Amino acid sequence: MALNKTDHDTFRHYLLGGLAGEDLEAFEKRLLTDDEVFEELLAAEDDLVDEYAGGQLSKNERDEFEKHFLSTPERQHDLDFARTLQQFIKQKTTQEKYWREVPASQAYLPRVAAAVLIISVIAALAYFYFRTPLRIIAITLAPTVITRSEAPRATEVNLREADLLEVFLRLPEGFTPAANYRAELQNELGKTKTVSVTSQDSQSVAVQIPANELTRGRYILKLIRIDADGTERSVSGSYLFIVND
């Protein structure tokens, strides 16, 4: 599929969290119905990681990349790999320049250096392609109104074999979608922390929480909408779950 500049800009805006409302909904529908669009998005994702690792993004793009794109451990692994590969390429270029300047009697030495570099690159590629995939447990939660008279039911989840908990937070009926969202997680002791919002549409917002940050107990997720003018308002209701192991 031949892509024009508008397509490339759309991919870039999506990956940097710049799409919202109807534009976001229309783009995600394309992803679900067109395999070629999804493949091109993966290619655009790789390009963006390379540009960030190489210091080619503007300050605003770097800020959005760190805020939106690096919200999952898997993408952080991809960035680490890109940085490692670029370092190998830089090292190889430097070595080739040096060995072109040494006497002919030492001409065999570049072969040794090249062999070491190739082995290192192969090891890095093997780590990237054959590393153990993340084990993700996904749950969907509806908003609940907490009252003193009645203890609300909470979804139970077992994270013994998981690396990551992905939670899809359903928006209340009749809710007008916001430009962006942020989410807060509170434990039984009342300690609160911000969690990563990874995606959103007109019906739900997805967040991800590393499993090693969740101990046995009850948790509350609060969702805050961020309007286009920057105004923040809490979404009605709380999202409850219990980690039982």
CA 208 to chain CA centroid, Å, is 9
Q: How many domains does the chain have?
A: 3
pLDDT along the chain (245 residues), means of 10: 59 78 78 74 77 81 75 56 54 57 54 63 59 79 76 85 91 90 93 91 92 92 92 92 90
Phi, psi of 194 (to 5 degrees): -80, 140
- Identify any residues that bridge with 141 across adjacent strands, giving them in sequence order: 169
Task: Return the number of other C-beta atoms located less than 10 Å from residue 133's C-beta.
Answer: 8
Is this prediction's pTM over 0.85? no
Name the residue among 210, 131, 200 with its Cα closest to residue 166. 210
- 200 and 167 in one domain? yes
Instruction: Give 82-90 contacts, CB < 8 A, sequence gap 24+.
Output: 82/49, 82/50, 82/52, 82/53, 83/53, 84/124, 85/121, 85/124, 86/50, 86/53, 86/54, 88/117, 88/120, 88/121, 88/124
The answer to whether residues 12 and 97 belong to one domain is: no
The verdict on 226 and 200 lying in the same domain is: yes
Last residue of a domain, one of 82, 115, 130: 130
Domain range enclosing 206: 136-243
pLDDT for the residue numbered 1: 43
